């Protein structure tokens, strides 16, 4: 993706605390000094991140790893010591105070862990407050605030005071206060960490529901691996100010970059991260059917089970269950086409469909919104992903990697 198409791009970002941060950074960059010898606290160390529009990027790490610092650099509540940040292609790192004010009110809003609602104001006025600062008329800000409260399920509470609300409801107000600004970018710093576990999960689902229609670019900080896995399209893992891994949840769970990441993702329920598009079965490519011909037959038609059939442009036509008896006749394939399959989007989790998959063998067919086919998820492709996650190596793979154990196995077999 081109830089200008990214919602947020962070390049070589550093934040140093200490007496002479700029000078120390010069030494660190020229490699004449290691960060730990600089006499400064390096809160962010050469952070690079590219965040696509409409995605949720989760920043995860232990307490003190630099998560809040990174988030606050994005709207410059904290000034970085070095590096660059671009919001929709506009550099924010050197923006003037005036530009900064404009960018903040039009592009970025923020939700904090502690809701910081103004106690003497009504819920509606709390939500409308940012619009008042931005100079929006009274009528418009009341309409927009009421709409934002409706979005988070709090219509009817407009005229109450924050003290009448539960913790979960206050955080909904916090969310409404950010949504009302109608910015493409939303920064959220451990917004649900102070909530009870059940309310917290409810808020996570609420956020995903909203995101479905709002399509914001969200940077979400958490130290909870399962929250990260539930929400993140991408997860960045911070350790002592450094991004040690940045990737899709499943990739991080299956191949953690180091022991720190491994420890972190150990607690993740893998069913929270198995999305359909990532585990399509490579052994089951589609059959392409044009008006008069079958242009690519299954590699091995003896393998039982369904294949997906597309037209010449890669759009789904249906599935064929029993391929073994079919020749290369387009008419035969056409008449064998069935619509009895489960359609699933690439980023949808497969967990809710596994029972159906195992019981009836109805194929899970992964299709994008425009009907273009990604592939088919089979029991075997699910099992492969689970095996990779558990760290289990297949016996065959082990034998390939250790020739001596191969002969040991052979000896054992002879003995048996």
CB nearer to ligand ADP: give 41 or 271: 41
Ramachandran quadrant class, 163 (left: phi over 0; alpha: psi -120 to 50; beta: rest): alpha
Alpha carbon distance 71, 93 (integer Å): 13
Question: Is the CB of 21 or the CB of 184 nearer to ligand ADP?
Answer: 21
Which partner from the list Mg ion, ligand ADP, none does 65 bind, CB cut-off 5 to 8 Å by kind? ligand ADP
Closest CB to ligand ADP among residues 180, 237 = 237
Query: H/E element holding 55?
Result: none
**Hey, what are 80's tokens?**
């970085």
Task: Give me the least distance between CB of 46 and ligand ADP, in Å please.
Answer: 15
Query: Shortest Cβ distance from residue 70 to ligand ADP (Å)?
Result: 7
- DSSP, collapsed to helix, strand or coil, labels residue 17 as strand
Asked whether the beta carbons of 155 and 169 are under 8 A apart, the reply is no
Decide if residue 217 touches ligand ADP (CB under 6 A).
no
State yes or no: residue 45 binds Mg ion (CB under 5 A): no
* Other Cβ atoms closer than 10 A to 356: 12
With H, G, I as helix, E, B as strand and everything else as coil, classify residue 247.
strand
Q: Does the footprint of Mg ion cover residue 65 (CB under 5 A)?
A: no
Of 68 and 230, CB closest to Mg ion: 68
**Direct distance between the N- and C-terminal alpha carbons of the chain, in angstroms, rounded to an integer:** 57
Determine the Cα–Cα distance for residues 93 and 206; give it in Å rounded to an integer: 32
Residue 165 token pair = 């609300």
Radius of gyration for the chain, computed over Cα atoms and rounded to the nearest angstrom: 26
Which of ligand ADP, Mg ion, none sits in contact with 64, Cβ below 5 to 8 A by type? ligand ADP
Binding residues among 335-394 for ligand ADP as defined by CB under 6 A = none
* # residues near ligand ADP by CB under 6 A: 11
Binding pattern to ligand ADP, positions 34-73, x when CB under 6 A? Answer: -------x-x-----------------x-xxxxxxx----
Q: Considering the complex, what minimum distance in angstroms separates the CB of residue 62 from Mg ion?
A: 10
User: Is there binding between residue 112 and ligand ADP (CB under 6 A)?
Assistant: no
Closest CA relative to residue 179, chosen from 223, 149, 208, 137:
149
User: Binding Mg ion by CB under 5 A: which of 38, 45, 65, 68?
Assistant: 68
Does 413 interact with ligand ADP (rule: CB under 6 A)?
no
Nearer to ligand ADP, 69 or 310 (CB): 69
* Nearest to Mg ion of 65, 275 (CB atom): 65
Closest CB to ligand ADP among residues 17, 345: 17
Alpha helices in 156-196 (DSSP H): 167-179
Burial 36-73 (b: 16+ CB within 10 A, else e): eebebebbbbbbebbbeeebbbbbbbeeebbbbbbbbb
Residues that bind Mg ion (CB under 5 A): 68
The footprint of ligand ADP (CB under 6 A) covers: 17, 41, 43, 61, 63-69
């Amino acid at each position: 993706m081109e830089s200008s198409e990214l919602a947020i791009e962070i390049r070589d970002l550093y934040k140093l605390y200490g007496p002479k941060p700029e000078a120390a950074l010069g030494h660190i960059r020229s490699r004449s000094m290691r960060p730990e010898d600089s006499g400064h606290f390096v809160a962010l160390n050469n952070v690079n991140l590219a965040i696509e529009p409409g995605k949720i990027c989760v920043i995860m790490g232990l307490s003190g790893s630099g998560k809040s610092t990174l988030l606050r650099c994005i709207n410059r509540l904290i000034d970085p010591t070095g590096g660059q940040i671009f919001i929709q292609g506009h550099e924010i790192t050197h923006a003037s105070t005036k530009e900064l004010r404009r960018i903040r009110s039009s592009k970025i809003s923020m939700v904090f862990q502690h809701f910081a609602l103004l106690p003497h104001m009504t819920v509606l006025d709390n939500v409308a407050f940012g619009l008042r600062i931005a100079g929006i008329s009274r009528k418009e800000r009341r309409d927009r605030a009421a709409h934002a409260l409706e979005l988070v399920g709090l219509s009817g509470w407009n005229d109450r005071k924050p003290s009448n609300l539960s913790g979960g409801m206050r955080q909904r107000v916090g969310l409404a206060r950010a949504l009302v600004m109608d910015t493409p970018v939303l920064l959220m710093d451990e917004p649900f960490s102070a909530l009870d576990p059940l309310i917290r999960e409810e808020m996570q689902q609420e956020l995903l529901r909203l995101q479905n229609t709002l399509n914001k670019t969200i940077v979400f900080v958490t130290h909870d691996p399962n929250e990260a896995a539930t929400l993140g399209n991408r997860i960045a893992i911070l350790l002592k100010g450094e991004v040690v891994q940045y990737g899709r949840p499943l990739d991080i769970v299956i191949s953690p970059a180091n022991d720190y990441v491994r420890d972190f993702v150990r607690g993740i329920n893998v069913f929270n991260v198995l999305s359909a598009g990532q585990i399509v079965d490579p052994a089951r490519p589609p059959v392409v059917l044009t008006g008069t011909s079958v242009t690519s037959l299954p590699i091995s038609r003896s393998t039982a089970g369904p294949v997906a059939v597309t037209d010449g442009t890669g759009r789904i036509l249906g599935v064929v269950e029993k391929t073994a008896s079919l020749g290369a006749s387009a008419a035969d394939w056409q008449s064998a086409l069935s619509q009895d399959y489960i359609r699933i989007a690439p980023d949808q989790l497969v967990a809710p469909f596994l029972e159906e998959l195992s019981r009836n063998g109805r194929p899970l067919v992964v299709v994008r919104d425009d009907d273009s086919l990604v592939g088919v998820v089979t029991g075997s492709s699910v099992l492969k992903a689970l095996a990779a996650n558990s760290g289990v190596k297949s016996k065959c793979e082990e034998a390939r990697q250790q020739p001596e154990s191969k002969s040991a196995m052979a000896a054992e077999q002879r003995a048996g």
